[in-house]
Structures are given as C-alpha cells and as structure tokens.
Structure 1
Amino acid sequence: MAGKTYDLVLTARWIITVENDGEVLENHALAIRNGVIEAILPAAQAATLDAVRHVKLDSHVLMPGLINLHGHSAMSLLRGMADDLALMDWLTGHIWPTEGKHVRDDFVFDGAMLAMAEMIRCGTTTINDMYFFHGAMARAGLAAGMRTFVGCSILEFPTNYAVNADDYISKALAERREFLGEDLVTFTLAPHAPYTVGDDTFRKVVTLAEQEDMLIHCHIHETGVEVENGVKEHHQRPLARLKALGLLSPRLIAAHMVHLSPEEIALAASHGVSVAHNPSSNMKLASGIAPVAQMLAAGVNVGIGTDGAASNNKLDMLAETRLAALLAKVGTLDPTAVPAATALRMATLNGAKALGIDDRTGSLKAGKQADVIAIDMSALETAPTFDPISHVVYAAGREQVSHVWVKGQALMNERKLQTLDEGALKAKAEDWRHRIVSAK
C-alpha cells in the first residue's frame, strides 16, 4: 500500500463485513480507490495512508449497502391511496385502474426518483425492480447513482405500456439495448405472476433468459387464493406448473413464496431458486407468514424486499430486516429461528447472490466495489451498544443512516442527499397527488 493515493479512507468505530456471520472489526478502516475496496486495516494504520479524503466516523457502524430484492419503485406515487384491502381487491379495484389513467414514462421516472431518494435515506444501495416504461426506471437509477435492476413486466393483457405478451417482450428488449454497458443498470425479465401469464409466454421467457443471459423475476405463491385458483385452472399448484415449464433455476428470483409445502421448499432449493421475502407487504395484505426459517434450513437463498410503497407503505430495508427476523421467530415459535446476523446477511449478501453480483457487492471485502453505508450509533435509542449487529437489526432506525456510497460515490453525506434534490422531489410528488385526485 505504500506510495498509493486512495480516493477515500473510511474509518469507523465498527465495521460489519457480513463475510462471516457475527464478524465485527473494531476501530478499522476501508481504503477505497476507483470505487473498489482495496484494503481493510486497523484505524491507526489507515491514519497514515495518503488519501484524497479521510472520513472519520467515531460512533458509527460501516456495513454493506442494503439490497432491496423486490420493489415497484414508481408506485411510490400511489403510497396510501388504497389501504387495508385484500390483494386482489387492492389490485383490480384500485391500483390497476389508477395505473391505467396515469402510468406513462414521466410517472415512472418521477415515482422512481422519489423511491430512490427514500431508499438511499434508508441505506439501500441496490434495487431489484419490476414495473413498466423501463427506460425511465434506468434513467432514474443512473441519476440517483443506485445499482438498479430493471424488471421488465410481462403480462397477457394490455396496459398503457404494451398490448400483449409479445409486445411487452419486444419493447423490453428494445429499451434494454439503450443501456447495455451501463455498470449500474441491469435489465431482467419479469413475468408478473402465474395468474397473469400463460404457459407459452413462460416458455418464451425461459428461452429468452437463456439466450440473453438475463435473470427472471416473478411473483409466486403470494396468497392462498392464488394457489387455490392455480390448482382449479391448471390442475396443479403454481410452483409445479412453473417447474414443468422450465422456470425454476438459479436465474429465478421468486417474490413472496408465502404458501409453500415442505416438498415445494425442497424443490426451490434443488433448483437454486432465490426468494425475495417481503414481510411488511405480506403482513399488510394479510397474505401470510413466509416459511423463511424452513427455506434457509433447506438451503434456499432468501433475500429481503420492501415490495412497493403502495402496499407497505414505506421502503425501509432496516425495518424489513427487523421484521424478517421477528416474523420467523413468531412463525416457528422459535426465538433462534433467524438470528440478527442471518437477517443482516439476507438483506445484503443473499440479495447480491440472488442478483448474481455477490462478487461485486453484498459484503465488505478487499476487491469488492465500495457499496457502503454508515449508521450512527450515538443516538439515545442505540445506547449502550453491546453488539452492533444486534443493534443494526433490532434497534437502529433509518434516521440513523448517515452516509451512503455506491462504488465509492457519495449518495448521501450526513443525511443530505448528494445526487437528488429533495425539494424538487417533494414538489413532483405533490403535483402527482393533485393529478391523481383530480382524475377520480
């Protein structure tokens, strides 16, 4: 390291690497150059390094940025519009009709920007999204500086974006071509759900994913009604149908997976399927408690998502991580079911693994890109700090996230957004509220 000039040296009271469960380094530093962590070393040694900028965070935890494995970012503009309803009533009676009136490129861009500002303020550095007008989502991700997976929704019925499944796929691929080569933007194929996508379309998605080396992102087994209706229509449970169609593979990120038999958990594990667990949304829509502890025990890679702000109603990955640990305990009546360190891995490295980027992010390690957040433990609410991992999961709030970096670029510094204009975003949100209310 002698003779090197680093772009940034971050020194903190604690560093949670997530490389090994429970690993906490006290009074250590990250040395960052060209967006990559080049070394993790004791604070005293780091103080002697030549760097463009030294940041000392004497009361903070440094840890990997949180990875939101399932979201609908643009739906932030529909936050609180239709609460306390069952999923299908919420979708068919309120959300889909409103989307039909308003969802266009500008809606998606403005909603995604609003969501990304909230997510950054919560310590999220990566979003795995699913919606329409994919170029708008990609542009928002680039403007915000977030690592953005753009899920290209595919349905059989028309929306403002496309008229049928082939049209959704064609437009998705065309928009994807515009962003090939962007390091922070990745397009995925997102057939919406087994109840909105037919067999032929699923087969096309599987073939296309293999040809283009794309991930697949799909809602699966979210509600008991979905499973029951799947059996009535297809004479088998949705997951069995998707297996027969070739969808189950390490490419698949299955959102929700609430209603699973032991055999289905084993099936997901044997095919390398990753699951995006969405505790708040599942609770709010009364979908149920996903068998997370059982999935983890079977070897399923489980990450955490917020779902959209319209069904959550906030995009707070710290809160989701806490709920993931607590729900697993109450769902099994076992207080050891999902320990804090496991929940934190779910929110970081497991999400990175699902997205195929665990060689780049998800933990703090020399050679990985510097997707890093700082959480201030000096607050009354986190005093005293015996175990930083426990406090991050069970005690800290999003208001304690003080700094966020992606590839070493500051997205938030001392709670102030660096890439986005908070005032402008609030004004846009109010404008959209007025438009939506006026159109009713």
Structure 2
Amino acid sequence: MQQESVDLAVRGRIVTMDRQRTVIEDGMVVSRAGRILALGPRQEIAARYRCERILGDEHAIVMPGFIDAHTHCTQCFVRSLTSGELPMIPRIYSPAQRSLDAEQAGATVRLLAAQLLRSGITTMCEGTLNPAHEPAIVAALEETGMRCVMARGAADQDFHHAALYSQIADRSWYKAREGEAERELAATEEFLRRHPPRGEGLIRGSVNVSALMNFSEAYFRGGAELARRHDTTMQVHIGRDREEVEFCLSVFGRRPVERLADLGVIDEHLVAVHAVLASEKEIELLARGHAGLAHSPVECVANLNAIPNLPRFRAAGIRVALGCDNQANDIFVNMRAAWLIHGAKWGIAGYDGEFLSAGDIIDMATIEAASVLRIDDIVGSLETGKAADIVILDGSGPHMMSMQHLSSELLRYASRAEVRSTIVAGKVLYSDGDFTTIDIDRLRQDAIAGRDHVREVVAARRYRPLPAW
C-alpha cells in the first residue's frame, strides 16, 4: 500500500474528547493543511501515512488544545497590582487598560499568548471594549497564530451607582448616549463580516455587550439579534459582584439575569460570564434559555465576590466553559482551582465526592468550552476533519508513572511543566521552551515597559502602597 504524505504526525496516548471520550492507548494523529486527516492505532496510521517528523513518543499524552473561554488581553500588564485591593475593576483594571496605546495593546496580546501557549491553550476568547485597540489586537493575534473568538463591543451608556451610605440622599441612575448603540452595533457587524463566526480564519468574531450598567437596552437587544443572525455568541458579564446586583435592583427593580430575561436576550447564543451571584431562579432562567456559562475559578478568589453553584448550573443542563480571565493564565491552575474551590464549597458540605468529576472539569476546558463558544465544529476534540489544534504532554515524569485513572491524574497532578508542544492548525507554536511566532527577547522588554507604565498609572489609585515583599 502506497503511503500518503502528511504535514504533521503526533504519537502518544490519544485523548480524543470525542462524544464517546475515546482514548487510544498507543495512537497517532496525522494532519494536512491544518486539519486532522486521520487518527487511530499507531501502527495502522503509520502504515498508511508518511511524515518526515513525528512528534511525541510512547510516554506522550496527546489532547485537543485547551480553551481559555474568557479573558481580556489588555489587563495582562496589571497582574498583582490588584492583590488585596478590593474592589479593583473600576479602580485599577479599567484605568490601566484605558491608558495603553495601540502598540502596548499589541504587546499584551503577545504576552498573554505566550503564557497561554505555554500551558497548552490553543484558543482564547478575548473581550474588547476599546475600538482604538482593535486593529493592534487583531494584528498581534494573527502574528502569534493563536486561535481566538474575539468579542467586540463598546459601551454606549453612562451610569452612576450610589454607594451604600450615599443612598441616604442619592440614587443610582443610567442614561444611554443617543445614537451610539446603532453606530457601535454597525461596527460590530462589520467586524463579524471581516471575521466570520462560521469562517475558516483563526479569528472568529463575536458580540461583546459587557454589562448592564454601561450598555443600553437598545444595545442588548441589537447585540442579541446580531448574534442570532451571524450564529455567534453574545458575551455578557452578569451577576459578577454585589455592586451590579444592587444597581440592577435600584434602577430596574430586577436582579441582573432577570433583567436579561426581560430584554429577551437569554438563548443558546448568550454566554453568561461569571454569574457568581446567580440565584436559584436566575440559574433556571439561564437553563431554560439554553445559555452557556464562562466560569473563571481563580478570579472567584481574586475578587472575593462569590463562588457560583457550579454543580447546580450543570445539573440544570447549562454548558460550562473555563476561563483564565487573566488570573493565572494557565489552564492547569484553573482546572485544579475549579476542583478545589467547588470541592471546599460543595463537596465537603455534602460529603459528596462526585460534586464535579475530573472528566467534567476537563470537558469544561476542551469540548464543552468549544460548545459554549459555538466553535465545536472545528475545535475541542481530536476528530477527523477538525482543526489540528493539539497539545502534547510529557507523561514520563515520576508523578505520572503509576497512573491509575487518566482524567483524575491529569487534573490532580499534571501542570504546564508537562506541556511539550502546543500546535494550532497543524503549526507548532510552542515546543520544549521555544516559541516559533513570538520573539521572547522583544516580548520581555515590552512586558517590563508595560509593567512599569501601568504601575505608574494606578499607583495613586491603590488604597495601600505596594509592599516590598
């Protein structure tokens, strides 16, 4: 039998994440032109296909590339400036992001991409709010070669949240800026045409309607209509913090998810981001509409708002995707954090070892995340015809030698140190410490300059000076 030539061949224990969760103990995956051509037992595939270089070995664990389902690249320089500074989003993150010029915004993308690729993440979901940064973000994404669902939007509403004691004499309010929703939604539709949600490009467009406070009713309704028409997602931070719940009760007389229901925007296109304060009724509303959830477990601890009832979300049938949200840009840290925080909150309380299985959590970082982001047609599992987005893990370490149950041991004991190669569309972007599309020396200089810039911007806004240690 004459062998067919292929661009890429990967050998190892193949964890497909297909519908049956098939694992091929001694397997091989081959791809051509960025798509998986075949996979199966190694000897069978090797007999049919020829490749000059074979990645992986008998100890490798081969998985679909992981997915970071929620992040904001332009927060990447801020990092631990937020440590202990509660609340931090409007006071530290937002001014730091606004202060970046286009070149700095591009540098944050390269920095984030390097961190994600190092932990085996091949796809990110980026939410942008500053149109001035968009061209630089797109250019940097294309330069790195990462896959991205890019949710685009810009606020069109002014608001005021009356704080606790000021409510004695003050009230919260909101006011839409006339004509801005129509203009920004038109810009988003043009973005979706350039980066089709069903297209072949590495960037797929999405709709960002970031929050109820600073996006108007017209924007929400128009954004939902855009998402339906283009078959993409609408990303909404919802039920994120106490201030948002207070604001919504004050001005709408409704809790945040109830307000989304009133607007008629809860459906399978909606990605509810965080929803840590969703009530039982609100979880039911999201489930009834078949919405998805983007859950960032490390962020729950970073901002100390709440730990969502994730077992309840999943029991209701809500699909869940894990996001790093720029808090530890490492999928292994976030998977383990999900296991630990929900184990402490729900597992211990009910003496329930099955509050979330290891398989459930890995699903949320692969195929279930792809479903939430509406990209499971191309990523999330290793199957013939899908993109060759692959991570190769080293399974030869002492902590992996006596493996009994694959998913449990990956969750509990593996780390980004095991990541040997990260491959997107058949191209090796990271391998054994080297990045093929990112100039690490230049990136280090940009990261240091960006770090110093944002520190100067927000230093006076911190409640306390940065400690020496």
> Are 2:142 and 1:142 equivalent residues in the alignment?
yes
Q: Alignment partner for residue 337 of structure 2, among 319, 323, 340?
A: 323
Q: Alignment partner for residue 201 of structure 2, among 183, 190, 193?
A: 183
Counterpart AA for 1:325: W
SS of equivalent residue, structure 2 residue 257: helix
* 8 Å CA contact 2:28, 2:45 repeated in 1: yes
Residues 336, 4 of structure 1: alpha-carbon distance in 2 compared, 3 angstrom cutoff: same
TM-score normalised by length of structure 2: 0.86
> Are 2:288 and 1:270 equivalent residues in the alignment?
yes
* 8 Å CA contact 1:352, 1:358 repeated in 2: yes
For 1:361 and 1:118, how far apart are their aligned partners in 2?
20
SS of equivalent residue, structure 1 residue 57: strand
Q: Which residue does 2:114 correspond to in 1?
A: 117
For 1:231 and 1:152, how far apart are their aligned partners in 2?
27
For 1:345 and 1:353, how far apart are their aligned partners in 2?
10
* 8 Å CA contact 2:421, 2:432 repeated in 1: yes
SS of equivalent residue, structure 2 residue 57: strand
For 2:238 and 2:453, how far apart are their aligned partners in 1?
33
Residues 6, 303 of structure 1: alpha-carbon distance in 2 compared, 3 angstrom cutoff: same
1:229-308 maps to which residues of 2 (within 5 A)?
229-308=247-326
Q: Which residue does 1:29 correspond to in 2?
A: 28
SS of equivalent residue, structure 1 residue 118: helix
Instruction: Flag structure 2 segments of 5+ consecutive residues without an equivalent.
Output: 159-176, 460-469
1:19-418 maps to which residues of 2 (within 5 A)?
19-20=18-19, 23-48=22-47, 49-86=49-86, 89-100=87-98, 102-131=99-128, 132=130, 133-156=133-156, 165-166=181-182, 168-179=184-195, 183-308=201-326, 312=327, 314-333=328-347, 334-418=352-436
For 1:266 and 1:235, how far apart are their aligned partners in 2?
19
For 1:37 and 1:367, how far apart are their aligned partners in 2?
5
Compute the displacement of 1:328 (Å). 2.5
For 1:92 and 1:264, how far apart are their aligned partners in 2?
25
How many equivalent pairs are there? 429
Please provide the CA RMSD for this pair: 2.2
CA shift digits 1:170-198 (9 cap, x unpaired): 54445555545661111211111122222
More moved, 271-280 vs 194-203: 194-203
SS of equivalent residue, structure 1 residue 45: helix
For 2:90 and 2:180, how far apart are their aligned partners in 1?
18
CA shift digits 1:92-117 (9 cap, x unpaired): 222223333x2232222110110001
CA shift digits 1:283-338 (9 cap, x unpaired): 11101111111111111011100112xxx2x2111111122223232222222111
For 2:20 and 2:301, how far apart are their aligned partners in 1?
27
* 8 Å CA contact 1:77, 1:432 repeated in 2: yes
CA shift digits 1:374-429 (9 cap, x unpaired): 11122233332222322221111112111011111111122311111111111111
SS of equivalent residue, structure 2 residue 422: strand
Residues 349, 271 of structure 1: alpha-carbon distance in 2 compared, 3 angstrom cutoff: same
What is the percent sequence identity of the aligned residues?
25
SS of equivalent residue, structure 2 residue 208: strand
CA shift digits 1:119-149 (9 cap, x unpaired): 0001101111112322222222211111111
Compute the displacement of 1:433 (Å). 2.4
Residues 215, 246 of structure 1: alpha-carbon distance in 2 compared, 3 angstrom cutoff: same
For 2:245 and 2:89, how far apart are their aligned partners in 1?
17
Rg: which structure is higher? Answer: 2
Counterpart AA for 1:323: A
SS of equivalent residue, structure 2 residue 83: coil
Counterpart AA for 1:117: A
For 1:2 and 1:84, how far apart are their aligned partners in 2?
63
Compute the displacement of 1:19 (Å). 1.6
Residues 178, 37 of structure 1: alpha-carbon distance in 2 compared, 3 angstrom cutoff: closer
Compute the displacement of 1:24 (Å). 2.4
Residues 284, 438 of structure 1: alpha-carbon distance in 2 compared, 3 angstrom cutoff: closer
For 1:253 and 1:386, how far apart are their aligned partners in 2?
35
For 1:319 and 1:56, how far apart are their aligned partners in 2?
23
Compute the displacement of 1:21 (Å). 6.4
For 2:75 and 2:28, how far apart are their aligned partners in 1?
38
SS of equivalent residue, structure 2 residue 408: helix
Counterpart AA for 1:120: L
More moved, 402-411 vs 322-331: 322-331
For 1:195 and 1:91, how far apart are their aligned partners in 2?
14
SS of equivalent residue, structure 1 residue 196: coil
Compute the displacement of 1:246 (Å). 1.8
For 2:188 and 2:105, how far apart are their aligned partners in 1?
15
TM-score normalised by length of structure 1: 0.91
For 1:192 and 1:114, how far apart are their aligned partners in 2?
23
Instruction: Flag structure 1 segments of 5+ consecutive residues without an equivalent.
Output: none
CA shift digits 1:49-74 (9 cap, x unpaired): 32243224221110011111100012
For 2:304 and 2:154, how far apart are their aligned partners in 1?
25
* 8 Å CA contact 2:68, 2:125 repeated in 1: yes
Residues 98, 33 of structure 1: alpha-carbon distance in 2 compared, 3 angstrom cutoff: closer
* 8 Å CA contact 2:75, 2:96 repeated in 1: no
CA shift digits 1:349-395 (9 cap, x unpaired): 01111121112110111221111101112223333222232222111
